[in-house]
Every structure is written in C-alpha cells, then in structure tokens.
Amino acid sequence: MTVYQATASAPVNIACIKYWGKRDTKLILPTNSSLSVTLDQDHLRSTTTSRCDASFEKDILWLNGKEEEIKPGGRLAVCIEELRRLRKEVEQKADEPKISDFRLHICSYNNFPTAAGLASSASGFAALVSSVAALYKLPATPSQLSLISRQGSGSACRSLFGGFVAWEMGEKADGTDSFAVEVAPRDHWPEMHALICVVSDDKKGTSSTSGMQRTVETSPLLQHRIKHVVPQRMSDIKKAILAKDFDTFAKITMQDSNQFHAVALDTDPPIFYMNDVSRTIIALIVELNRVSVAAGGKIKAAYTYDAGPNAVIYAPEGNLKEIINLIVSYFPQADTFKDPFKMFAAGQEEPGKLALPAGFNEAVAKKFEVGAVKGLIHTRVGDGPRVLDDSEGLLNASGLPKTLA
C-alpha cells in the first residue's frame, strides 16, 4: 500500500523593513513592502509532516503535539484548499494518483517557544505549505508558494526563501502580485550573524493581527510611513545588501525598527511592545556603535524589534564576541551561553567577564538581575525550506503524531 507523505522544515525570518498593516485582511495584502533576513534552520525551524490517505476522515493539524482546530474559511483551511486546487491541476494534466480528494493529517513542531515574539507563524505556515507542496509534487516556484503561505501568515511568504528576502506588496486587488522574491542568497553575505535576546517567552498582550489593523485605522504616522518612507528604504537596503555595506544596512534596520514602534505608539489607544529591557539593549548597541565610530571605525551592530520585547541584533560575524560579552555584562544568564560558533576560548574566556571596549560609557544603562534576558540564541543567515528524509517524519505508521503533548 502506497504511503503519501512528505516532511519539510522552514526557517524563521526577522524583518529589517517591517510589515505592519493590511490593505486586504482576507487575502493578507500589506500596506507596504518589507524585507527580512532568513535565519539558519540548524538553530530555529518549524518542521511539518503531511500525509493524505483514503482512510482519513477529516483534515487534522497537530501543533507541538496538540490538536488545533482547522476552522472552515480560516487561514489554515484557505492554504490547504489552495494547495489541493493546484494538486487537482497536476492530476488533470498528468497521469498522477488522484490524492487531492484525500483528507490530510498534518503534524508540525517548532524547536522554539511559540508566540514568544519569535515568528513561529512565519516558519510554521512556510513549513506547512512546503510539506504539502512536496507531498502533492507541485511544480511551483518558491515565489508561487509564497502567494499561498502569505494567506496563512503575511510574513510566512518571506520564509519560502533563504538569504535576504523582499515581500513586494503588489498593487492588484486579487493579490497575485504580492509575493516574496530573493534579494540575495545566503552565500552572498554569509558573514551576517544574528543574536536573539529572548526577553520574554510569554504570549504577547496585543496580537500582531489585531494590533496592525488598529494602527491602519488610527495612526496618521503610518500613512506617512507607507507613502514616503518605506519605498526609499526598500530601495536603499537592497543596494546595501548587494554591496555588503553593513553601515547602511544597520542604519536603515535600526531606523525602521524605531519607526515601527513609533507607529505602534501612534496607534489609538497606543500599543507598547518594548519594555525596559528592550530599551536598555538599544542603549547598549547605540553606545557600542558610538565608541566604534568615534575611534574611526564602522557601525558594529544593528538592533531590530518585532511586535514584542525580544531583540534581534544583526552584525558581521567578527563583532559577535564583543556584542555577546556586552549583553551578558548587563544581563547575566542563568544558564551557560551555548556558543555554537566557538567565539569564546573554552575554559579561558567567559561571556560577560571580558573588558568592555575602551571609551564605553558604562553608565548608559543599569545592570539587570539574572533572568531579565531569559536566553541568547546566536545564529546566522540561513537557507530556505528543506524537504527532509522520511526518517525525520513526525507521523507514525497509522498517521498519528509520534509524540503528543
């Protein structure tokens, strides 16, 4: 008996030019284009196994071992139906098994906290779409698949590519020109690293979906951002990436993060995503860059914040040791720092114990207690979705999850 199954993993992406606001909430069409860096799946990923079978009675999704409802007409159902429609086209054109009418069992697992301000919906929907597309053997490009994943979660369209990715907002009412494109592959600028400072792994107070629509309805600053600011920044940051110009990349990334949070503050009533820990990390990065530039050097790091308090710090690989040491100096860690890139000499150097750069004004911030930053994840620019071997499948022989919560 043939088993129709495929497993895929997909990466997290963190935006440098932020997506905030929809012009069509059903199709998830954005009010502005956005741009992100795809992070390495060896550190952060969603993995999804999809199987279809004549014996399955309904579509079921298990997320991290818990069954989730697939609401008719909801985002998940829309993605599944669109993938089924494409499979039917394949079956009509070629001599392929008629599996598009079979129900699906889908099992997905994130190796990081869901809804912690790390974009789990982006990697999750990208993995789901990649997995079902592999199961259905769809002859679709990543950009074509991004049209589907976008309807699950807007930023998921950017997780269909590795490297540096733009989501072009498009103009058409039907959304057919609102998809992701690769600006540059990971191999173009592999020295781009990222340090994620996990400030909170709680669910956020205002969800992105409700927050951004309130902004669209009430913020005059958002209208200025959409019309006058983002188009130029998109053009400038693409040029900076292609030129591997970190100074320009960093300035635009920090400015756009600041403006996104200004727009959240300009919403009525205001939305606060950052907290005192977030703002302290900004002060530390600003001072690190000031000292470097004052000494005739370049900008060393760029902070960015999505809809939550977690910081993501982008920097060239050579600067990460100094950045990690700085963050741990002010935010001591309960657990030993996992040092995946062997930045610190084992047994000789300890993060947070090395000297800060000469001229660094230590009074820019107060030092926090252990636990203010719950964890640090050092990662780098990564590749796009991967189709995995059957041995990595998440479903057992009967089509149920191998592990339940």
Return the pLDDT at 1: 84
Reported as a single tens digit per residue, the pLDDT across 92-114 is 999 899 999 999 999 999 988 65
Mean pLDDT of the chain: 95
Reported as a single tens digit per residue, the pLDDT across 328-355 is 999 999 999 999 999 999 999 999 999 9
Confidence tier at 244 by pLDDT (50, 70, 90): very high
Confidence tier at 203 by pLDDT (50, 70, 90): low
**Rounded to two decimals, what is the model's pTM?**
0.96
Return the pLDDT at 206: 78
Mean pLDDT of 248-260: 98
Return the pLDDT at 119: 60
Percent of the chain at pLDDT > 70 equals 97
Reported as a single tens digit per residue, the pLDDT across 361-386 is 999 999 999 999 999 999 999 999 99
Reported as a single tens digit per residue, the pLDDT across 152-181 is 999 999 999 999 999 999 999 999 999 999
Reported as a single tens digit per residue, the pLDDT across 308-331 is 999 999 999 999 999 999 999 999
User: β-pairing, 4-11 with 22-24?
Assistant: unpaired
Confidence tier at 207 by pLDDT (50, 70, 90): confident
Reported as a single tens digit per residue, the pLDDT across 9-23 is 999 999 999 999 999
Return the pLDDT at 297: 98
Confidence tier at 115 by pLDDT (50, 70, 90): very low
Give the residue among 348, 343, 346, 279 at the shortest CA–CA distance from 315. 343
Return the pLDDT at 83: 98
Return the pLDDT at 202: 67
